[in-house]
A = this chain, B = another copy of it.
């Protein structure tokens, strides 16, 4: 007899965990809807043509491919039957969704002309990646994305950041939102001397989290990027300034620490990029509540190949978290210029952010936020002491539910201890014991499972009693 198991990197979500996940998703969904976002769901199965070439070579490797049905080998030429890579295209036409962005782009292209523009959508669905499973990294995991497609105003960025703030506030988790702008980084080009130096600088900067400020300087020095070392130190100094505006001013001063080799054209481009970025950042900041926990992070790079404007990252900042808690960002996103170009529809701009559901869950758990979540059922487990009590128990449970409470009848006349153990295990707060004596007097023995107290309540008074003792049914 086989012993069943789960594929590596996948999980069951049992009741305890799933109820918490659902509570998180419900909070997020309420925020999305209050901002006029519409839901979208796309199929798990996509044509591999849709997915391939969108996530780089590494991404293509990580796609889950579905074997074609029937005699899938029939079309494969003999020559390609001995090499996994060569055979794949012959035997697998479909794959599993890898993220929610490419399906969004496909949906927008397939439904263009019918969608309201801007198209504001939220999507919460699992995605699949054939990655090596690790702690906190799964092969099947959930993403939650919100995007505004077809609009290029900073109002959209402001709205998304405000939604981040509100969502985490309503989840009860303290966070900090770091913001940067691709234009600021672009404007560093002349200071760095060359496009290749700029790229090397970006790669080194991206490691600051791991190797620290001095580590980045050292790496730049090792690569003989003297300009870059000076820019990096200037950036770190600007980053030390207090508030959003001071940092931005310090950056503006820094960016025109020009390299003498830079030509006039590239300086002009950099000036324009800087002006646009600084204007957008100032407008964005002004549209957010003054007290919002939003900081300018001049060293935030975040997937530069994709983003073209503002970029965001959310980190937990909550004093209830253990000091050694290190999980990294729990959300991020930014503005892009060209969502649908790969599907033949150019010039569709947009901006989007995602919520890392799994990491949000882990962070909230580490901060003890679920401890306060009510785990009990607001209602009654009816405990029949004999089969003759079934009808009354069923009828009373029906009345209790009718008033908005949960109710359950234990499905046998088992020993009372067994039934009460079940009630405690399930988290019922009340148990109504119903046997021959109770039936004759048309009462139940109502046991408060938290306090242990017991009282006799008549059939007729049961609902009134509940309304008094469980006020928010």
Contacts and interface: CB of A to CB of B under 8 A. Distances in A.
Contacts of A412: 151-153, 155
A151 B384 CA distance: 15
Given A67-B67, A81-B81, A148-B411, A344 B14 contact: no
Interface stretch (A270-278, A325-333, A390-398): A390-398
Given A116-B425, A408-B35, A45 B156 contact: no
Nearest to A289: B398
Interface string A108-139: 01110000111011000010101000000001
Contact of A10 (B4, B45, B409): B45
B64 A426 contact: no
A121 B43 CA distance: 25
A33 B22 CA distance: 13
A106 interface: yes
A428 B35 CA distance: 12
Contacts of A323: none
Given A45-B139, A82-B73, A88-B67, A155 B390 contact: yes
B107 A42 contact: no
A287 B391 contact: yes
Given A153-B412, A394-B287, A43 B10 contact: yes
A209 interface: no
A426 B116 contact: yes
A50 B126 CA distance: 21
A387 to B, nearest CB: 9
B84 A153 contact: no
Contacts of A398: 162, 289
A19 interface: yes
B72 A84 contact: yes
A196 interface: no
B44 A5 contact: no
A394 B344 contact: no
Interface string A150-181: 01110110110010000000000000000000
A471 to B, nearest CB: 17
B81 A130 contact: no
A412 B322 CA distance: 44
A340 to B, nearest CB: 9
A40 to B, nearest CB: 6
A159 B401 CA distance: 12
Interface in A284-339: 286-287, 289
Contact of A73 (B15, B49, B87): B87
Contact of A64 (B2, B4, B66, B118): B66
A275 to B, nearest CB: 16
Contact of A109 (B4, B69, B106): B4
Contact of A394 (B34, B109, B120, B155): B155
A446 B92 CA distance: 56
A106 B186 CA distance: 54
Interface string A407-421: 111011000000000
B66 A344 contact: no
A164 to B, nearest CB: 14
A406 B7 contact: no
Interface string A203-232: 000000000000000000000000000000
A383 to B, nearest CB: 12
Contacts of A47: 4-7
Contacts of A65: 66-67
Nearest to A151: B411
A343 interface: yes
Among A82, A155, A425, find the residue whose CB has the most chain B CB atoms closer than 10 A: A155
A189 to B, nearest CB: 29
A156 B411 contact: yes
Interface in A62-110: 64-67, 69-74, 81-84, 87-88, 91-94, 96, 106-107, 109-110
Closest 5 CB pairs of A and B: A36-B408, A1-B344, A15-B38, A10-B43, A153-B411
Interface of A: 1-7, 10-15, 18-19, 22, 33-36, 38-47, 49-50, 61, 64-67, 69-74, 81-84, 87-88, 91-94, 96, 106-107, 109-111, 116-118, 120-121, 126, 128, 130, 139-140, 148, 151-153, 155-156, 158-159, 162, 283, 286-287, 289, 342-344, 377, 379, 381, 390-391, 394, 398, 401, 404-409, 411-412, 422, 425-426, 428
